[in-house]
Amino acid sequence: MSIFKNREKIEIEKELEELINHGGGFGCPDARENHKENIEFLKHKLTLIESKKVKAISILSIVIALTSLAVSIFNVFFKG
């Protein structure tokens, strides 16, 4: 996917893959439910990591847009 994956995301993906590949063999319903909850928790952690990236890109885009606006205003009023 991306060559810039951080270590935390790689570790979570490995742990998630291990949980998914573990399969059945649960003796009690609580163990199966706990297994499902662990998978959902790891998926949630991956979603949080991705949302942090989106947030950083959004902030960078806003900074670039504001810088562009400031340069445009400078050109209109001071270089006129």
pLDDT given at position 11: 92
3 within some domain:
no
Q: Are 45 and 15 in contact (CB under 8 A)?
A: no
33 inside domain: yes
pLDDT tens string 31-68: 888 888 999 999 999 999 999 999 999 999 999 999 99
The answer to the question of residue 55 being in a domain is: yes
> Would you say residue 70 lies in a domain?
yes
Residues 6+ apart with CB under 8 A from 22: 35
Domain of residue 49 covers 28-80
- Statement: residue 3 has pLDDT above 60: no
Classified as helix, coil or strand, 25 is: coil
Q: Into how many domains does the chain fold?
A: 1
9-37: pLDDT as tens digits: 999 999 999 888 876 667 788 888 888 89
